[in-house]
Chains A and B, each alone.
Chain A
């Protein structure tokens, strides 16, 4: 019997309901050999073949680096000397003894909090405004979204010029009689500057997501609320926010994770200064690994970063029961 016949014969044994029962009904006789290439196995193979490229990609570019980072964190790697020595938990001990780390975590926290608040608030405000039926709203949407597609480094370099002591921002302030600060040289203003540069870069992405969510809110709910005499503000808090809460959750996760990975803006604008006021965790990790050649310690710091991102994402995901009122 050919394989085709076998498969065809087994296919005919399927129930007419279209169920996926793989085993033929009835007692099996001794000496009977079940065909290996059953339809179920064939379907499984097809499925695995389809996901193989993605699995391979994930294994090589996600899982393997993750494993290697843990491996590196247990070693001291002197790139120049070409030595790679097992040091056990020494790098983790160094983490506990690192006097710079509290300041780095504080800067990271300040940046993330500032970015999340400014970004989400501005994105929602812009989305609400651009959701109105106004003339030219498409042009404004395009304008606000355009920084998202601009090269990050080019964007940051331009802002670097604007934020100089004699740059464009202070020039504008000067025209209204305000003596602007030296934005990138003051500890508070430097952090604020980096946050603002990042907010303007990516606010368009969250704005578009909010806009899409706002357009999914049924109009009749507002009509009913108006009939009941609800104010615009009440409508916003009682109808809009609950119905777009899944998008608020999504954007907050994306923004928090993104904020913890900020690098280019710091490298171009402040290089972690003044002092160490803008040395966030990713930049500190880069310094340790690539500038100071402490690759093992850099790997240990990257595990800390991974743990923070994971913990915050899980926390946000768990809190969705409180935040998200409407989830499809």
Chain B
């Protein structure tokens, strides 16, 4: 019968297609011979990659089971999306950097290999040297799922030439006088803008979209995006309303910050100050402007610090998961951790001293390292993070957009944020 024959042909064709599709997978396929490891990273900085490759080359000398270790830079803006797309497409890396804002998703999902045993049994690793506070975000059920290879406090880079040109006291002078707070920082930024035409202060990577970077500002008011248990929205709290009202005035009235749709790169000399992490020090030009690095200004609730974290984990889907975990143990051992410390503040307590960090951070003074990095890590709160953060972030971003207009009703906008995200937080 024609119909029956047609059905058979169709079935055979579909079977062939499914077989073809299956050829593309192979997540669990056995693998023999020396392994090639791939680690996704969000830096394409040549100095960073050079150091990684040096460590990897050293490791390969004593590990014949590893043929190659590749560092695969993914674009910073869509890093997590690209990573999860690779995982969905059956092309998961062996090791991956993970942002703090997606840590809850990765850690609780079971996507990562537990690392405790491997790290503890690695000779001379010094697992107990890892600061417990830095491990918290990366643990679940008492197991460690990623190594917090970078716990990087936010500080303020200052273009001292620009501030002096505008007749302003430098932050160092304000710190010495006990006057380094957001009121004075915004006033200096406003004056710098008025006098030089350059931007005052820029919260880097915020750009009126990456709102979680604003936590480096509103934490000074004691405000939080959501409660510690992640169940209650914090955008309507009096502290947040106060913080955002001050920020709105700073942007639209005092011009202390460049407005929406205006870009100003501090490292190109286009702004007087920028809030960012010390790893960005590598962007400073040797013969550029005079600069300084100082802690975040004090808020109404006093001194505070905010840290951005990045974890390094091994994907369970990796064909060489254990080999990848072994490399992770080498990559982050005490010796290599000290090398990496020049860019990424380590979680090792023994290395969190100004003297140790100064050896690998020639651009920063021991005083800067103590005040910004060590004190920051000791007292800092991690940037907002929550399970399902991508969806939450999108809702907050969209709901906050009406705030970035000169005539915005700050309280009403913040009420709108909570109306949108409370159902997601309550899930």
Contacts and interface: CB of A to CB of B under 8 A. Distances in A.
B404 A185 contact: yes
A287 interface: yes
Contact of A81 (B111, B261, B388): B111
A182 B260 contact: yes
B402 A291 contact: no
A59 B13 CA distance: 8
Interface of B: 13-14, 17-18, 20-21, 81, 84-85, 87-88, 105-106, 109-111, 208-209, 259-263, 316-317, 388, 390-391, 394, 397-399, 401-402, 404-405
Given A80-B111, A185-B404, A60 B261 contact: no
B391 A275 contact: no
Contacts of A293: 84, 105, 390
B404 A80 contact: no
B20 A79 contact: no
A272 interface: yes
Nearest to A279: B398
Contact of B87 (A63, A79, A275): A79
20 contacts: A64-B17, A78-B109, A79-B87, A82-B110, A82-B316, A163-B261, A164-B261, A164-B262, A165-B261, A166-B262, A167-B261, A182-B260, A182-B261, A185-B208, A271-B209, A274-B401, A274-B402, A290-B81, A293-B105, A293-B390
Contacts of B17: 59-60, 63-64
Interface residues of A, number: 33
A292 B388 contact: yes
Contact of B394 (A165, A182, A287): A287
B263 A291 contact: no
Contacts of A295: 88
Contacts of B208: 185
A164 B401 contact: no
A184 interface: yes
A165 B209 contact: no
B150 to A, nearest CB: 21
Contacts, number: 86
A165 B84 contact: no
Given A82-B317, A185-B260, A275-B401, A60 B106 contact: no
Given A80-B111, A165-B262, A291 B398 contact: no
B408 to A, nearest CB: 12
The dominant DSSP class at the B interface is: helix
Contacts of A131: none
Contacts of B18: 64
A125 to B, nearest CB: 31
Interface in A33-71: 59-60, 63-64, 67-68
B261 A273 contact: no
A316 interface: no
Q: 6 nearest interchain CB pairs?
A: A165-B261, A80-B109, A274-B401, A80-B111, A292-B391, A81-B109
A240 to B, nearest CB: 42
A2 to B, nearest CB: 30
B273 to A, nearest CB: 19
A276 interface: yes
A34 B61 CA distance: 72
A166 B255 CA distance: 14
Contacts of A77: 88
Contacts of A60: 17, 20-21
A82 B81 contact: no
Most chain B CB within 10 A, of A68, A165, A272, is at A165
Nearest to A184: B261
Contact of A272 (B88, B262, B398, B399): B398
Contacts of B261: 163-167, 182-185
Highest count of chain A CB atoms <10 Å: which of B87, B391, B394: B394
Contacts of A183: 261
A217 B390 CA distance: 55
A73 to B, nearest CB: 15
Given A80-B109, A164-B263, 14 more contacts: A59-B13, A64-B17, A82-B111, A165-B260, A166-B261, A167-B261, A185-B261, A185-B401, A185-B405, A273-B209, A273-B398, A274-B404, A291-B390, A293-B390
Contact of A275 (B109, B262, B388, B398): B398
A273 B259 CA distance: 16
Contacts of B21: 60, 64, 68
A292 B106 CA distance: 13
Contact of A292 (B14, B110, B390, B399): B390
Contacts of A67: 14
A165 B109 CA distance: 42
Given A80-B109, A165-B259, A275 B394 contact: no
B390 A81 contact: no
Contacts of A64: 17-18, 20-21
A81 B110 CA distance: 6
B124 to A, nearest CB: 33
A276 B398 contact: yes
Interface in A148-176: 163-167
B401 A273 contact: yes
A184 B398 CA distance: 14
Nearest to B264: A166
In this complex, the member of A78, A292, A295 whose beta carbon has the largest number of chain B beta carbons within 10 angstroms is: A292
Contacts of A78: 109
A272 B111 CA distance: 30
B397 A273 contact: yes
Contacts of B317: 82
A4 to B, nearest CB: 29
Nearest to B80: A291
Contact of A80 (B81, B106, B259): B106
